[in-house]
Amino acid sequence: MAFNPLRSLGVRAPLVNQLPTGPYYGVLAEFATPTDLFRACERVRDAGFTRWDAHTPFPVHGLEGAMGVRRSKLPWIVLAMGLTGAASGFGLQWWVHASAYPLVISGKPYLAWPAYIPITFELGVLFAALGAVFGMLALNRLPMHHHPLFRSKVFERVSDDAFFISIESWDPRFDAADTGKLLESLGARSVELLES
Amino acid sequence: MTSDRDLVALRPEQATIPPGHSWNRLPVIGGGCALLGAVACAILGAANPKQFFFSWLVSFLFFLSLALGALFFVLIQYATQGGWGIVVRRIGETAFGTVPVMAALFVPLLLGLHDVYSWSVPGAAEHDALLRWKAPYLNVPFFLIRAALYFSCWSFIALLYYRGSRGQDATGDPAVSARLRRFAGPSIIVLALTQTFASVDWIMSLTPHWYSTMFGVYFFAGSFVGFIAFLSIVAVAMRRAGLLDTVISAEHLHDIGKLLFAFTAFWAYIAFSQFFLMWYANLPEETIWYKARTEGSWMAVSIFIMAGHFGAPFLYLMGRAVKRRGWTLAIGGAWVLGMHFVDLYWQVMPTLHPEGLRPSLLDVAAFVAVGGCFVAAAGWLMRRQALVPLRDPRLPESLAFENA
C-alpha cells in the first residue's frame, strides 16, 4: 500500500477515496420533515449504529447531537500543521541568516529573532489553514467522484425539500431487511436498498 | 435543541443576591481592605512618598483599566446587538459603575505629581529643548483639564448605560436597547480617544522624551484582556457561590474563554508590533524606553511577560474543554489578570527604579487600598440591582445560547 501520511496520524482515510465493496451500499430512508428526521436520528443513534449519515437541504440546528457525532480530529491536524509551519518559518530564517549565508543587516545579530516573527507567524497561519482545508477534505473522504447514493431517484430532492438517513451496509448492526424495517417504523416516507 | 417553550424570562429571585448570602458582605470586606490599605499606605508612604505615588499609580491604572475594559465590553455588545453575553453584561456594568470612584482615587496622585512626572517639575523644560517643544501639551494645568475631561466622558457614558440598563429592569421598554445601541458607536469613539490620551498622559509621559504612536492601543489591549480575565473569574465565582448558577452556562463560559484567548493574541500582536518597529529602526529616542526595560532584572520581567502574558495562556486557552469547565477557565483568567498587573508594573516602575526590579510593601498596600475601594463600590452596586438585565429583549436569546 502506498505511503499515507494521514494514516500515520491515526486518520483512517485512504488517499484514493473508495468505499468498501459489497453487494449493497446500504439503506436510504426519506423523511418528510426535519422534526421527523431529528427524532429518527436519535433512535438510530440509540440503536447503536455507527456508520450512517443524515442528509438535509439546510442545516438543522442540533442535529449533530441527535446523531451522536463525536468531535472531529481536525483541530489536532490544524495544531500540528500550525506548529510545523511556525517551526519551518523560524528554522528557515535562522538557518539562512545565521548559518548558510551569514550577513550583518543594520547592525543586528545573526540570530535576530524579532525580525523572524512575522514570517514565523505567517507560515504558521498558512500551514494551519492548509491543514484545516485539506484535513477536512481527507476526513470527509473528499474528493469522491461518485457515490452510490446518487443512484437513488428520490435522493435528488435532498437539495430541495426532503430529509434522508442512510445507513451503510458495513455497519456491524446492519441487516438488509431489519434495518429497513427499523427506518420504516421511525416514520420514513420511503425506504430503499441501494446497490454499491 | 432548545424549544421556544424553554425560554421563560428569569424570575427576579433567581438573579439577586439572597439575604444572608456571603456576597452581601462585599462592600464591608472591600471597605475594610481599603481602610487597611490606606492606613498601611499612610504609615509606609510617609517614609517613602515617591515609592507610594508610583505604587498607587500602578494599582490605580490596573483597576481603572478593568473599568474601562468593562465599558468597552458593554458598548461593543450594544453596537453589535450581541445576544450571547446579556447574562454577563451586568458584571461589566457593575465594573464600569466604579468609574466615579476611580476618579476620586486619582486625586492622591495629584499630591505627588512632581514626584512621578519629571516634566511637571517647575523649570524642567528650561534646559531641555524637547520638553520646551512639548510644553504646550505637557503642562500641569492642561494635564488637569484633560484628566477632568477623561473622567467626565467616562462617567457620562458609564452613567448613561448603567441607568439605561437598570431602568429597563423596571419598565421592560425595548426602546431603551435601541436608544443605547444608537449611542454605542459614538461612545466607542469617545472612549477610544480619551483612553488613548489618558494612557499618553499617565503612562507614556513618565518618560517624557519618549513616544510611541501605538501606545493607546497597547493600553486598550491590556485593559480589555484584563477585563475579560476579570469577567471569567467573576462569572465562575458567582456560579460557585450559587448566584446565577442556573443562568450562566458552560456555553457562556466558553465564549468568555474564546474572547480571553483571542485578546491574549491581540495583546501580543500589539505589544510585539510596538517593540518590533522600534527595535528594527533602532532610533535612540524610541529605543530608550525598551533599553530601560531590557537592563538588569527588568530584562527578566520582560521575558516573563513575553512567556506569561502571551505564550503560556495562548497554549493553555487553545483547547475547548479548558474554556468550558469553570475552574480551568478561572485559572486561566486569574493568570492573565495577574500578568496584566505585571505588564502595567513593568510599564511604570522602571521610571522609579531604573536599576532593576525593586518590589515594595507599598505595592501591596496600594493594591489593597485601591482594590478594596473597587470591590466595595462594585459590591455595593451588586446589592442594589438584579445580577442580570432582567427585561432586556435579548435575555431569552442569551439564556438559550449554544455554541454551534
Q: What is the pLDDT along chain B (404 residues), one digit of tens a residue?
A: 444 444 456 887 788 899 999 999 999 999 999 999 999 999 999 999 999 999 999 999 999 999 999 999 999 999 999 999 999 999 999 999 999 999 999 999 999 999 999 999 998 888 899 999 999 999 999 999 999 999 999 999 999 999 999 999 989 899 999 999 999 999 999 999 999 999 999 999 999 999 999 999 999 999 999 999 999 999 999 999 999 988 999 999 999 999 999 999 999 999 999 999 999 999 998 999 999 999 999 999 999 999 999 999 999 999 999 999 999 999 999 999 999 999 999 999 999 999 999 999 999 999 999 999 999 999 999 999 999 999 999 999 999 888 86
H or E element, residue B162:
helix B140-171
Model pLDDT for residues A54-108, shown as the tens digit of each residue: 999 999 988 999 999 999 999 999 999 999 999 999 999 999 999 999 999 888 9
**The residue count for chain B:** 404
Question: With an 8 Å Cβ cutoff, are B280 and A114 in contact?
Answer: yes
- Helices then strands (H, E): number in chain B? 17, 0
A62 touching B, CB under 8 A? yes
| Chain B contact probe: residue of A61, A69, A72 with most B CBs at under 10 A | A61
Alpha helices in B205-324 (DSSP H): 215-240, 250-281, 284-292, 297-305, 312-316, 320-324
* pLDDT score recorded for residue B4: 45
B154: closest CA of chain A, how far (Å): 36
| Grid cell listed for B61 | 491604572
pLDDT confidence of residue B2 = 45
Provide the b/e sequence for A160-170 (b: ≥16 CB within 10 Å).
eebbbbbbbbe
Contact B55, B351 (CB under 8 A): no
Q: Chain B contacts of A71, Cβ < 8 Å?
A: 320
Q: What residue spans define the domains of chain A?
A: 30-56+167-196, 74-139
Amino acid identity of residue A147, one-letter, is: H
pLDDT band at A141 (very low <50, low <70, confident <90, very high): confident
pTM: 0.90
> By three-state DSSP, how is residue B126 classified?
coil
At A146, is the secondary structure helix, strand, or coil? coil
Q: Which residues contact A190 (CB under 8 A, 6 or more apart)?
A: A29, A30, A154
pLDDT band at A8 (very low <50, low <70, confident <90, very high): low
pLDDT of residue B93: 97
Ranges of each domain in chain B? 23-399
| Overall average pLDDT of the A168-181 stretch | 89
Inter-chain residue contact B282 with A38, CB threshold 8 Å: no
Please, is B277 exposed, middle or buried when counting C-beta atoms within 10 Å of its C-beta (0-12, 13-18, 19+)?
middle
The SS3 call for residue A194 is strand
Under 8 Å between Cβ of B304 and B342: yes
Query: Cβ of A114 and B275 within 8 Å?
Result: yes
CB contact under 8 A, B320 and A107: no
Coil, strand or helix: which one is B376?
A: helix
Q: How far is A176 from chain B (nearest CA, A)?
A: 32
Contact yes or no for B282 and A79 at CB 8 A: no
pLDDT at B3: 43
What is the band of A10 on the pLDDT scale with cuts at 50, 70, 90? low
Contacts of B280 in chain A (CB under 8 A): 106, 114-115
Q: Are B361 and B37 in contact (CB under 8 A)?
A: no
Give the pLDDT band (50/70/90) at residue A145.
confident
Nearest CA in chain A to B319: A75
**Least-confidence region, from A20-24, A147-151, B243-247:** A20-24
Q: What pLDDT is recorded for position B5? A: 40
pLDDT of residue A37: 95
Best of B273, B280, B316, B317 to mutate (most A CBs within 10 Å, chain A): B280
Percent of residues, chain A, with pLDDT higher than 70: 90
Mean of the pLDDT values across residues A127-148? 92
Return the C-alpha cell found at B146: 484633560
Whole-number pLDDT of residue B179: 96
